[in-house]
Structure 1
Amino acid sequence: MSRPISIFNHPFRFLLYLEWILLSFAALSALIPPPFRRLPTRFTELTICSLIIFGLMGLRLPQRNQTFKIIYTGLEIFLIVITSFFGGITSRIFPFLYLILVTRSCLIFQIKGRLVVTALSFIFFLLALRRRFDRIPSSPTEQERFLFFSFNFAVMFGLSLIFVLLLMNTVLSERKSREELAIANDKLRQYALRIESQATLEERNRIAREIHDSLGHSLTALNLQLETALKLWQSQPEKAQTFLTRAKELGSKSLQDVRHSVSAMRSHPLQEQSLEQAIAGLAENMQRAIGVSPICKIDLVSLISSEITTPIYRIIQESFTNICKHSQATEVTLELTTTNTNLYLIIKDNGKGFDLGQNTTGFGLKSMRDRTLALGGKFHINSTPENGCQIIVEIPLMSRSNDKSTASR
């Protein structure tokens, strides 16, 4: 619930100034002796006190308790009635106090309450006007003239009340719309900051995956070449020289990857090759690194877009890297097949395996899983110690082809 409206947080400060000006004129009219004896101010102190209390009440408008709002408005009407009955010449100004009452009601009530206060203001105005009608001379001409004047004044005053009510509703609605728009803009800025932060985090993860998959793969192969060269340096120096030459090539490639990491990450990793050719290159690198040539069974009956081939290439690359680093396998098989709706990838080795409950937090496994889930696919790992490892990837193709056909339309 909102706090009460006071002079410090009043939404329309100029309304307070207008109230004070009008109430000041009313108070002065009660103090100045009337020029006509028939309009004396019988209770000047009471009239002025009523006006002062009515003005002070405008400095703090209730906003919380509905019962307190009703009591507050009833007290305002009571003060206006006192002014209209005992104010003498001030009673000529009292109808305009109802305009202040309607304005305040628009600030504290909803539309139904505003309509009720407006109707009550007009009813009390007619009652006070009826009382004045009883005090005029009994001459039919005078009565007819006063009746005509009172009718016109009542119509004009009723239209004034309706105009004030509609004007305040419009102003308050516009103000509420601006506040809601400001809140919506603030939320939008917060969402934009969250999206920017999330995009930055995703971009960092993507860069980390690219570095891990490209540079990490090259450095792993380089390390294996150097280890093999060290083992053969004494017994077979010529063969060790071959591994050193290959290590130098890998070192040059790694250095190039570091120097051009940004452009390399943005460029296509397949280098204008087909997926089959890129997989053949990865298999050749494994054969050079650990002396094991993977058995590749590739059957692609459906066309695969680049948004799928690149992640598949990275998943295979990471799998081969893990096999070279940890598996100690002597046999590796790769099966890549497609149907009209799905792509299936199975990579299996006969290495030493690992415990899924203890070794699933590596960045390589997480990278493969993230790439698969990003394509709406399923990622499974089957492995136990001393029983090798099997990676199964299933990626849907139908939804993506439908998306492309819809976009082309």
Structure 2
Amino acid sequence: MKMIKEPMFFVNVWRFLMIGVLIHLWIMEEATTNSFILILLLMIMTSLRWRFALPVWSVLVDAFICFLFFPYTAISYYGLAVPIFELTIKGRAVFSLLFFISLFFTSASPNLLFWFFLQALFFGLFSYLTLKNQKVNKLEADEQRKARYELERIKIDLLEANQSVSQQAGLMERYRISRELHDHLGHDLTGASLALQAYEYIQDPHEADKLLEEVKNRLERSTKSLRETVHNMTPTTLMGVENLEYIINNYYQIDIDWKKSGDTLQVPAYMWSLLEACLKEALTNVVRHSNATKIEVDLHVTGTIARLSIQDNGTVPNQNQTGSGLRSLQMRARSLGGSVSINRDNGFLLVCVIPMEKGGADK
């Protein structure tokens, strides 16, 4: 990529070019000591401006140097082009016009000096507008960058909030189930156990039958309550690895070799949404950009990580940039402490690795 020169580079080029013109005049017309000292002082001011951002009042120093040498050398009149240019690039073009008054008192050629001043004024105005536009563009770029960073931060916050909500929902569901089992199933089973213990000490057969009937009723209620709890816990939609298998089984465009290993029940619910999104994104990219004939999907779960890899045998364009979908997946993975990487060397490979939290799905 070519480097774009900053406007200040050309401003400094003009400054030293003017010093070069003055040196040329010194050599061609009058190689006197006074002219040399004048040029040396103006060069020092130019070098300071090259290294430091001098305030606008420093132009008075250049003007004073030129006025000081008016009686000794005509080159001092040409040196006024320097303060004209410096005032103009600072947005003080009106004040720079005052130096044109010197045209009526110069011993040099007034016509040549007029055009010399005019080009300094013109390039000063051009540099001023260019620097002003650069400043505006930088401010707009900074605002856009700030807005983009803020948007990414909000996305990450939303992903973290979604993760927290998923965990809280899991804990609330566990609490609800435990309370329901305790309030209904636990009481009935405890009552049945106590009734069986009392049954051993009852002498009256009639009372024993009544107590046995009570145990039977409690066990029936417990069985019914247990069935209802299990039924309510059973999800009505596919979840976890079953949802991945459903996506793969309903993908008819290309043959998919599906493998899984490890205990998939350890994977928390909020991680499955990212794994599902990675699978869908990879399959979509195959349809749009690849001529693959086979896809290998491998899910490997250990006590520390969940790793999903999708590899096809097709050819993809050599793209250096990553699409917005893949960038979104990478950002979501980073919010979970994981990563999403891609490789295009041999087909298209997408690998999503997410670290498992301590406690796994029990969290």
TM-score w.r.t. the length of structure 1 is 0.43
Structure showing greater radius of gyration is 1
Q: Select the structure with the greater relative contact order (CA < 8 A; seq sep ≥ 6).
A: 2
TM-score w.r.t. the length of structure 2 is 0.48
